[in-house]
């Protein structure tokens, strides 16, 4: 059975395609999840996707991912935490507490935008960061995770 990568998308990413297309592009969340599954298939890993607008659901998903990493079933998580990136100490603590290898991805270059987007609570807990490549960043993040952790 092939190992798994979990792709987590946080708040408002269900609006991809409709939401500020000049910033985030025209691809929908469905397109992004298809891209992730195709990337995984090419690399021999199975991709599981979850999007939630609720911080607690994302925390539970990280805890579950950590348990599955320990069980040898999952190699890690690719996560776009959306605006929780800039606000959530709880996400930082969950990534560290669950000991889950995690690549943080942002579609836009957050450092070229408003100053409140320049700080990330997630980055110090992440194994790697992909920023500013549009939705193609999800492909780069999955490739990076597989190279770093092995499949």
Query: CB 12 → ligand DQA: shortest distance, Å?
Result: 5
Q: Which residues of 69-101 are buried (b: 16+ CB within 10 A; e: fewer)?
A: beeeebbbbbbbbbebbbebebbbebbeebebb
12 part of the interface to ligand DQA, by CB under 6 A: yes
77 part of the interface to ligand DQA, by CB under 6 A: no
117 part of the interface to ligand DQA, by CB under 6 A: yes
Among 80, 91, 126, 130, binds ligand DQA (CB under 6 A): 80
Reply yes or no on whether 92 is catalytic: no
Query: CB 108 → ligand DQA: shortest distance, Å?
Result: 3
CB 48 within 8 A of CB 6: yes
Reply yes or no on whether 118 is catalytic: no
First to last CA, the chain: 11
Q: Could you give the residue numbers annotated as active site?
A: 24, 106
């Amino acid at each position: 059975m092939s190992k798994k990568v979990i792709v987590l998308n946080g708040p408002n990413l269900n609006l991809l395609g409709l939401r500020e297309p000049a910033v985030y592009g025209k691809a929908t969340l469905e397109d992004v999840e298809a891209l992730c599954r195709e990337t995984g298939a090419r690399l021999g890993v199975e991709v599981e996707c979850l999007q939630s607008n609720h911080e607690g659901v994302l925390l539970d998903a990280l805890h579950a991912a950590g348990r599955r990493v320990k069980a040898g079933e999952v190699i890690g998580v690719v996560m776009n935490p959306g605006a929780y990136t800039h606000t959530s100490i709880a996400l930082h603590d969950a990534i560290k507490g669950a000991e889950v290898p995690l690549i943080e991805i942002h579609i836009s270059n957050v450092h070229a935008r408003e100053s409140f987007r320049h700080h990330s609570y997630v980055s110090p807990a992440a194994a790697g960061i992909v920023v500013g490549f549009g939705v193609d960043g999800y492909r780069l993040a999955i490739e990076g995770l597989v190279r770093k952790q092995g499949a």
